Amino acid sequence: MSIGITALGAYLPARALHNTELEQHLDTNHDWIVQRTGIHQRHLAAEGQSSSALAIQAVADLLRRCGERTLEGVGMVIVATGTPDEQGGGTALAVSRHFGLSAGAFDLSAACSGWVYGLSVAQGYIRAGICQKVLVIGAEVFSRIVDWQDRTSAILFGDGASAAVVERVGEGFGFLASTRGTDGLGGKFLHASALASCLPDGTLMRDKITMDGKEVYKFAVRTIVASARETVRQAGVSWDDIALLVPHQANARIIEAAREQLGLAREKVVVTVDQHANTSAASVGLALTNALDAGRLHRGDHVLLVSFGAGLNWAATLLRWSGVLESSGTPRTLQAI
């Protein structure tokens, strides 16, 4: 059974916050931020705009691209988010309710790796015969949990959402291999409190994002390289076959260091962090949609998705791109917004 992505959608809030605006209240400047992160701007949700609101907009974009019947047959809605509307899966339920779906729905919490984890979970539901189609969304309003007085973290994050339909595709296309893992001892390097006041090792937590940039950088480069290599090995393809690497968009320096170690040409790597910043679970889906819109995805391409996040965790998957669908049901590789 071949399973892949047949529809994509994305959404960024209208408000774009440029680095120069951060100069007004942080001890930083545009050039310093670009040099250290590659980020020029990030998008911020409007007041009252929740993760489910962003997710709904991403799904609406998916429907505009691929037709109003794209959600027919969806049996499960998964929303990967670290900033849920409420405890108890309410983000996915809100999406399902908005589009009149009777599907099952739940939130998935795996930090920045959440969307890639969600793709694997979707495959499991389909292979088990539980669902024919799964809607996988990454949606974040990280601006609500960023300490805007902390220049080490405030400059890094933005809000956004991405959506994909996962279902059966033609033989030889779709997902070929996936890897994932965790390093629970690294949780102290990147975290934000929910209900607990401290981590199991006694590290005190705040309700705002707290990170050790140097440790996260080392972890990120190491895990991108290792998980990418292992996924390609499991898939049994050559590195020469890889058309695109779509990494989690956390920091341009991380992406560049990993690219160099993997020996990939720059034109094979998707980089959107300059315009979106780190949108956590929405990041990889937003970057993949960006590649689609830029005409960089072609039917038959081998595309490697790699993510890492708080926990610490990581996930990667390799797929052979089958194209997304128009309302007529015919595959194509470029859709206009």
**Does residue 43 have an active-site annotation?**
no
**Does residue 248 have an active-site annotation?**
yes
User: Which listed residue (19, 43, 112, 131) is catalytic?
Assistant: 112
Beta partners for residue 181, in sequence order: 314
**3-state class (DSSP) for residue 175:** strand
- Distance, CA of 297 to CA of 322 (rounded, Å): 10
Helices (H) and strands (E) in the chain, counts: 10, 15
b/e 113-141 (16+ beta carbons within 10 angstroms → b): bbbbbbbbbbbebbeeeebebbbbbbbbb
CB–CB of 19/34 below 8 Å? yes
User: Which listed residue (19, 278, 290, 313) is catalytic?
Assistant: 278
For 104, phi then psi, to 5°, come to -65, 160
- Stated as kind and residue range, the H or E segment containing 205 is none
Which class for 236: exposed (0-12), middle (13-18), buried (19 or more C-beta within 10 A)?
Answer: exposed
For residue 308, what are its two tokens?
A: 């890492």
- Distance, CA of 92 to CA of 88 (rounded, Å): 10
Beta partners for residue 171, in sequence order: none
User: Which listed residue (191, 248, 276, 302) is catalytic?
Assistant: 248
Tell which residue, 107, 116, 83, has the closest CA to residue 247: 116
Tell which residue, 36, 50, 54, 5, has the closest CA to residue 291: 5
The catalytic site residues sit at 112, 248, 278
